[in-house]
Chain A
């Protein structure tokens, strides 16, 4: 199907570009680890062992470092009219959103793979739950993040000083995801499962439906260049 092939082509292109520039995985991952250091320096050791501090630090680092790569998603298509090249593709424009969103998800996943073990190690935090639950939870959170992040990136790329504005536009919308991430991971650490945080899981699923469904439907309006 042409649509699927176009989506695959754009993802392939972004992967290729990432291999050359490292701006969506390498830089954010480094930033996240640096943030980890800052947090470790900033917190007194007794505080670091307190309940909830680990997840708060972890997600603060991931969400902030993530904006660096996510914001670039559409910003890099600004130069040389590259977005037009994507818009010329003989498929519905929602394909551009899907491709960019999925690529972002992939990149964020890689950032998490690097960052999270570092956090666990430095804080001396045991896993507390089977790995598959962690993967599923973090995956759902990052999926939501990449959905809303890609949409806002497409908007910000058309604004003056868009890359600077990007976090300011993104974070108010991201609040439910941040809260869900913290509660779900706290639940995993304490109980090893989702029993205490079912509602948050539902919220996250709803959020994903919203921020993948709506952009899919209205992306044509977003990039009407």
Chain B
């Protein structure tokens, strides 16, 4: 699904958490969003997911505004947040079953069992989710996001808490999703881990898009140098015009 943000703004109590964010992600492409703490990355993800209403601008899926899609749009979204969204008292399997039923997945039980195996939680499938380690909970939360085969994945710090083996799994899984044509928006404070899967990279600073680049044409080192510059405290909020960068339609709205 094509995802397009047009001048998305979110103001709460007079503060601008998001300010005129404009970008587009094509099906099968992955956007990496990074930036310093408090930049609004998580807020951006929640606004795209429809959990927080934007105060300005619009969000388009396949050219149609999210409001016109209605609640059915969320069938296509797979979301991973900072919070686990898990019920500690329910078993691993029950948590997935619930998600499946909630999203109207036809073969919910079969899918739940398959994902339990895929994320390596078969041995604890009947344990209450509250007893899992941080990494296991992350894997369960990821399974939850993938359960209903969403066409858009919105992931907030998906690599957090994962060891090397499971980070590798996630990278492969994301590549598979790309091949499937899924659109992925990935928020990562530690962008280096996610760099290999990114097609585009955006830097968000204080709610504004500081830059948007094509990751294929940049290497990690060069991006790292520029990143440090953009998030510098002094004068870091201006839009950087750097040669070779891939601009989203309508970009250039920075101050």
Whether chain A touches chain B in the assembled complex (some CB pair under 8 Å): yes
In this assembly, does B176 line the interface, its C-beta being within 8 Å of a C-beta of chain A? no
Closest Cβ of chain B to A87, distance in Å, is 6
Provide the residues of chain B in CB contact with A225, threshold 8 Å: 51-52
How far is it, in angstroms, between the C-alpha of A16 and the C-alpha of B73 when the chains are bound?
A: 28
Q: Which of B46, B71, B75 has the most CB of A within 10 A?
A: B71
**B74→A5 contact, CB < 8 A:** no
In this assembly, does A6 line the interface, its C-beta being within 8 Å of a C-beta of chain B? yes
User: For residues 54 through 87 of chain B, which have their beta carbon under 8 Å from a beta carbon of chain A?
Assistant: 71-75, 77, 79, 81-87
In this assembly, does A118 line the interface, its C-beta being within 8 Å of a C-beta of chain B? no
Provide the residues of chain B in CB contact with A85, threshold 8 Å: 85, 99, 102
**B73→A81 contact, CB < 8 A:** no
Provide the residues of chain B in CB contact with A91, threshold 8 Å: 71
- Give a binary string over A198-225; 1 marks a CB under 8 Å from any B CB, 0 the rest: 0000000000000000000000000011
**A90→B51 contact, CB < 8 A:** no
Q: Which residue of A lies closest to B83 (CB)?
A: A81
The listed residue (A9, A20, A88) touching B101 by CB distance below 8 A is: A9
In this assembly, does B161 line the interface, its C-beta being within 8 Å of a C-beta of chain A? no
**B51→A5 contact, CB < 8 A:** no
How far is it, in angstroms, between the C-alpha of A86 and the C-alpha of B101 when the chains are bound?
A: 11
- Give a binary string over B30-46; 1 marks a CB under 8 Å from any A CB, 0 the rest: 00000000000000001
The listed residue (A2, A17, A90) touching B87 by CB distance below 8 A is: A17
In this assembly, does A13 line the interface, its C-beta being within 8 Å of a C-beta of chain B? yes
Closest Cβ of chain A to B178, distance in Å, is 22
Q: State the interface size on chain B (CB cutoff 8 A).
A: 31
Q: Given A5-B104, A82-B87, do A13 and B75 touch, yes or no (CB 8 Å)?
A: no
The listed residue (A2, A90, A224) touching B53 by CB distance below 8 A is: A224
How far is it, in angstroms, between the C-alpha of A2 and the C-alpha of B74 when the chains are bound?
A: 12
Provide the residues of chain A in CB contact with B102, threshold 8 Å: 6, 9-10, 85-86, 89
User: For residues 43 through 92 of chain A, which have their beta carbon under 8 Å from a beta carbon of chain B?
Assistant: 79-82, 84-92
- Interface of A toward B, CB cutoff 8 Å: 2, 5-6, 8-10, 12-13, 16-17, 20-21, 79-82, 84-93, 224-225
What are some 25 contacts across the A-B interface (CB < 8 A)?
A2-B72, A5-B101, A6-B102, A9-B101, A16-B94, A16-B98, A20-B89, A79-B88, A80-B83, A81-B83, A81-B84, A82-B86, A82-B87, A85-B102, A86-B102, A87-B50, A88-B50, A89-B71, A89-B74, A90-B71, A90-B72, A90-B73, A91-B71, A224-B53, A225-B51
- With A90-B74, A225-B52 known, 16 other A-B pairs at CB within 8 A are A6-B101, A12-B101, A17-B90, A80-B83, A80-B88, A81-B82, A84-B51, A84-B81, A84-B85, A85-B102, A88-B51, A88-B74, A88-B79, A89-B74, A93-B71, A224-B53
- Interface of B toward A, CB cutoff 8 Å: 46, 49-53, 71-75, 77, 79, 81-90, 94, 98-99, 101-104, 128
